[in-house]
Chains A and B, each alone.
With several copies, the nearest count.
Chain A
């Protein structure tokens, strides 16, 4: 895997774009499916991702894994669900356009073609207008200042309290929890149908997490998969007995 530094990308789409570009791949759904594992591995290993930004990285991870699962198990998905992968592909293409534009802007800034304003100084204005330079607003009083200052402090107190929006931190079922759940299911039932496992998910993210959990358990050789023919139901049993 290629080493990335934080300077090379900013945010999940930046990371995804550098992965795609380092493999010299075009932005297509198929390539996104190919790159999914690398992305997940990077996010998992990365220590320099701000915890507050992790949620955003995970959203993209979920989308990638969804695309990957769709590529691997197309029969699980109906046509109406096409959009998710299409959406990430579009989003990344567009992001890339802006990244390219930002490079051009960087070049423009580097040319240092700053435009300067005429100086607005007292001395210069006095030449034009010979009048006392103290011109107070008529309505301002010490009490108005007091009232204003209290309002500013109240706003600041509010701002200091503002944390990440709650929705960003919505609890998502994590893989470990799902793994425990699958183990429990296999313990209870001996054999579980893969499609049933996915159907039990209440939303896409959970479906992806289920899929990941199964992959993880497969990797750890805890599960045995059986399939009668291509695209038919996959039966899962535990390897531990």
Chain B
């Protein structure tokens, strides 16, 4: 693949913005060459009226949405994370509330479907929190403090029938299978 294509892919997936130096190390190209290609790419996007744009800040590069679409995107992101939860999300949230800390795998075993997207959505809405358990080499999930307060309780222990439901045999049976 061309350097241009590689740079585009890298900026696209990176969580943080990338410097010329970092990009050079990743692609085995020279920094001035990369700088030149990124300039072309930036112009390409502008000329083509692309929905994406390359922004440069402090020598760091990043792909973002084109500024002309800002209003649309803002509206969309707002709608995406507001409003009621879908039934699958509500169920996942419930299980995390009563059984947290719980791993993604455990949650998926209980729900019977892949939960990557649901977890991401709940995380972004600030309803749950992720914590990496070193000993188990896995992420575990809990409901967030914000959500607990939102429910008007002091902790998950105050959830109705918490003690009984937290220890439910049905769940234990399903989770047992994982081991």
Contact = CB atoms under 8 A, between A and B. Distances in A.
Are A and B close enough to touch in the complex, i.e. CB under 8 Å?
Answer: yes
Contact of B146 (A52, A111, A136, A145): A136
12 contacts: A11-B112, A52-B114, A59-B112, A90-B173, A101-B161, A102-B90, A113-B68, A120-B15, A133-B125, A141-B151, A142-B159, A142-B160
Interface string B95-129: 10110000000000111111000001001111100
Given A101-B98, A129-B78, A93 B125 contact: no
A127 B15 contact: no
Interface of B: 9, 12-16, 53, 55, 62-68, 70-71, 73-74, 77-79, 81-88, 90-91, 93-95, 97-98, 109-114, 120, 123-127, 144, 146-153, 158-161, 165, 168, 170-171, 173-174, 177
Contact of B73 (A104, A128, A156): A128
Given A105-B93, A152-B110, A137 B83 contact: yes
Chain B interface SS verdict (over half): helix
A203 B88 CA distance: 31
Interface residues of A, number: 73
B98 A94 contact: no
B171 A113 contact: no
Contacts of A140: 84-85, 90, 93, 150-151
The winner among A13, A123, A143, A156 for most chain B CB atoms within 10 A is: A156
A134 B143 CA distance: 12
A132 B144 CA distance: 14
Contacts of B86: 10
Interface in A117-136: 117-125, 127-129, 131-136
Given A97-B168, A98-B98, A134-B150, 12 more contacts: A11-B112, A11-B113, A90-B174, A95-B112, A101-B159, A125-B124, A129-B73, A134-B144, A140-B150, A143-B160, A148-B94, A152-B94
A41 interface: no
Interface string A35-56: 0000000000000000011001
Nearest to B149: A115
A53 to B, nearest CB: 6
Nearest to B153: A142
B14 A119 contact: yes
Contacts of B111: 10-11, 13, 95
Contact of A124 (B15, B81, B146): B15
Given A12-B113, A101-B160, A94 B170 contact: yes
A116 interface: yes
Contacts of B81: 112, 114, 135
A109 B84 CA distance: 10
A11 B87 CA distance: 10
A101 B150 CA distance: 16
B70 A94 contact: no
B93 A145 contact: yes
A202 interface: no
Given A102-B90, A128-B13, A115 B70 contact: yes
A117 B62 contact: yes
Given A90-B170, A153-B165, A146 B85 contact: no
Given A53-B113, A149-B165, A121 B170 contact: no
A200 B129 CA distance: 47
Contact of A113 (B16, B67, B77, B170): B67
B176 to A, nearest CB: 11
Given A91-B112, A128-B73, A118 B150 contact: no
Contacts of B153: 108, 142
A146 B90 CA distance: 11
Given A114-B70, A119-B14, A128-B73, A149 B94 contact: yes
List the 6 closest pairs (A to B, CB-CB), nearest first: A113-B152, A11-B113, A134-B126, A115-B64, A102-B94, A10-B88
